[in-house]
Amino acid sequence: MRKNMGSLDKTIRLISAAVLVMLALTGTLTGTLAIAAYAIAAIFVVTSLVSVCPAYLPFGISTCRKA
């Protein structure tokens, strides 16, 4: 797949993932919200590592810098 995420987008996602995990670990988010936070954090980490956001594809969005 063609990369469609720039470095700022990836950084924001990784920071957001860390915040969500910390909120769940500290007990600020519990139950279903904690499970959702872990799932969203996992999605953010995976999409950041592969530099592809499937949600961007149908809309043709790309935050990558054009070379």
Confidence (pLDDT) at 67: 53
- The Cα–Cα gap between 61 and 55 comes to 9
Rounded to the nearest 10°, the torsion over CA 8, 10, 16, 22 is -130
Between residues 66 and 5, which one has the greater pLDDT? 5
Interval 1-54: pLDDT, tens:
789 999 999 999 999 999 999 999 999 999 999 999 999 999 999 999 999 999
Confidence (pLDDT) at 2: 87
